[in-house]
Amino acid sequence: MKTRALFCTVSLCISLGLISSDAYARDSRIRFPIADALNGNAAVGKINSRIRLFFAGQDTPAIRKTFGGGRTNKKTNALNKTDWRACEWVFLSAIIQMQARAEQLGANAVINIRSNYKNREFSSATQFECGAGNVIAGVALKGEFVITE
């Protein structure tokens, strides 16, 4: 009797999609404008204006000293958020972490910033890549820490 009840419960859950791997399987790679994220309301008071940001393909001032490269891989809860809101939030979190590391090293800029979601590099001066799922959104960035003139 218990076996039959368990079988019926599992069957019902599967048919309702409660135990479906497809329910959590979405992992879309979406690209969003960097400027919209850096200039939006969510960024106000969070971005360190002393640490300049230069994305892949952007001209940089002359470099006086390099500190090597670094990377960040940030995730956020995407439940009940649009892809844009979740990705904007996690992108800002990644940028803040990169700027904090630059400050620790004594750098005044992070250059050649590019997306590196799941170790697949995407370089753009205008867009970042975000992995958006049903439950989690993630942004991974790579860049170099430098002192510029």
Handedness of CA 116, 122, 128, 130 (dihedral sign): negative
**pLDDT score of 48 more than 60:** yes
Per-residue pLDDT at 20:
45
Per-residue pLDDT at 121:
97
Per-residue pLDDT at 6:
45
Cα–Cα nearest to 89, from 134, 128, 55, 142: 128
Per-residue pLDDT at 3:
55
Average pLDDT over residues 92-99: 98
Average pLDDT over residues 93-109: 98
CATH top-level class of 26-148: alpha beta
Say how far residue 20 (Cα) sits from the centre of its chain: 26
If one compares 142 and 25, the residue with the highest pLDDT of the two is 142
Virtual torsion, Cα 57, 76, 42, 127, nearest 10 deg: 20
pLDDT in tens, 106-133: 999 999 999 999 999 999 999 999 999 9
What residue segments make up the domains of the chain, in order of their start?
26-148
**pLDDT score of 73 more than 70:** yes
Per-residue pLDDT at 4:
56
Per-residue pLDDT at 15:
45
d(CA 63, CA 98) in angstroms, rounded, equals 18
Per-residue pLDDT at 13:
45
pTM of this structure: 0.83
The band of 27, judged by pLDDT with boundaries at 50, 70 and 90, is confident
